[in-house]
Amino acid sequence: MEYRFTKEAGNCGILVHASTPRALYAMFPKSMEVQMEHENAGDFWCIQMDITTDNMISRRGPKEEWGVVEGKARRIKNLTEGSEHALGEWNTMVIECFQDKIKVWVNGDFVNYGYNAGETSGQIAIQAEGAEVAFKTLNLTPIFRLSE
C-alpha cells in the first residue's frame, strides 16, 4: 500500500487475521495490528492474540508485563528507525502474512518479522483513531504455496 497522513500524524494501522469483533476496549477485533503511526510504522500491537519475535525483551519489555489484553505490554517495536518519509509524504508498506508468520517492509526496509502468530487467518481491517490518512494504492495479493 501507499499511504500518507494528510494533516497531522495519527494512530492508524492495518489489522490482519481479524476475527472476533469488539474484543479489546469493546472496539477492536481480535487481530494483529501492523502500526502505521508516524515514526512507529511497522510496530506490532497484539489485540487478543500473540506473536513471537526475535529480541522480545528489548522490543517488548519485561516478560512478566507481556499480554494481549488491556493494561498489558501489547506493543512490539519494529526493527528500524528512520524508515518512514517525512510527515505528509507518501510511504509504502508491504505486509506479508503466510502461515503463522507476518513480515513487514516500510519504504523498502525490512522492519518487522513475527512468527508463531496466535491466528493464521481472518479478515483485514483498516484502523484509524482521529487522524486523516490517505491511500494511493491498497493491493491485496494472495500467496500460493507451490506444490512440490
CA–CA distances in Å: residue 70 to residues 41, 47, 131: 21, 9, 22
- pLDDT(131) > 90: no
Please tell me the predicted confidence (pLDDT) of residue 129: 86
CATH architecture of 2-137: Sandwich (2.60)
Closest CA to 37 of 5, 85, 15, 68: 5
Residue pointed to by grid coordinates 528489548: 58
The letter for the amino acid at 82 is G
Q: Which whole number is the average pLDDT over 120-139?
A: 93
Q: Where are the domains positioned within the chain?
A: 2-137
pLDDT for the residue numbered 89:
96
Grid cell in block for residue 113:
518479522
Query: Can you give the pLDDT at residue 140?
Result: 93
Average pLDDT of the chain is: 94
Q: Would you say the pTM of this structure is higher than 0.85?
A: yes
pLDDT tens figures, 13-46 = 999 999 999 988 888 999 999 999 999 999 999 9
Span 138-143, average pLDDT:
91
